[in-house]
Structure 1
């Protein structure tokens, strides 16, 4: 179980490092939160857990949208969208979504564990 958590965390860190390499071009095209963050504080520059999760969710959304577009192209008879590419894209989006849900479930469980700790 700890290997699975370590694997997910390493994937998130790798994704964060790739996003740092992209720079401001990716941040300019993404929807950035302008309101105050949790607890009324502004989001900090330079990343952290919040930005890593936001980037991961944006990536899952992008993968799902691309898979949906490829599926639609295949259904419309586009010769560039073959069945193998569509199936691979759909599986990639499914795996990305499942990983995101698993991270969310573990975060909720950790929050509940902390809240149930005696003070």
Structure 2
């Protein structure tokens, strides 16, 4: 099955909240000129790109596991339709969430690029 569960999501949520709290504590102590994104991003050892890459890899693993389960059901190797349906629903939700993140990133990029200098 997939490694996406409520416990994993809650763990990721708490990690994000801890990282936000750490950034809030660091940002006020920085001088005004260096309090930009580049200086604050160096606080953690995990970059945005690596976080996004790992999330996409998890979604891809979920898609592959769902494909394997669906093909096994179609070949008659398993008769557990509930598990296959659950995996398909989980895959659909994770893929749609990935698309929404992509759309938000593209929208933010377009907004930044259209700002006057």
- The interval holding the TM-score normalised by the smaller chain is 0.5 to 0.7
1:77, CA displacement in angstroms?
1.0
Larger Rg: 2
In structure 2, what is the Cα distance between the partners aligned to 1:68 and 1:46?
34
1:102, CA displacement in angstroms?
0.4
In structure 2, what is the Cα distance between the partners aligned to 1:93 and 1:52?
19
Q: TM-score, normalised by structure 1?
A: 0.61
Q: TM-score, normalised by structure 2?
A: 0.62
1:111, CA displacement in angstroms?
0.5
1:46, CA displacement in angstroms?
2.7
Structure 2 residue runs of 5 or longer lacking an equivalent are 1-8, 16-41
Total equivalences in the alignment:
80
In structure 2, what is the Cα distance between the partners aligned to 1:66 and 1:52?
21
Q: Over the residues paired in the alignment, what is the CA RMSD in angstroms?
A: 2.1
Which residue in the other structure is 1:48 paired with? 47
In structure 1, what is the Cα distance between the partners aligned to 2:113 and 2:49?
20
Which residue in the other structure is 2:64 paired with? 65
| Deviation string, structure 1 residues 59-116 (Cα, Å, up to 9, x no partner) | 000000000000011111123x510000000111111110001000000000000111
Task: Give the secondary-structure state (helix, strand or coil) at the position aligned to 2:77.
Answer: coil
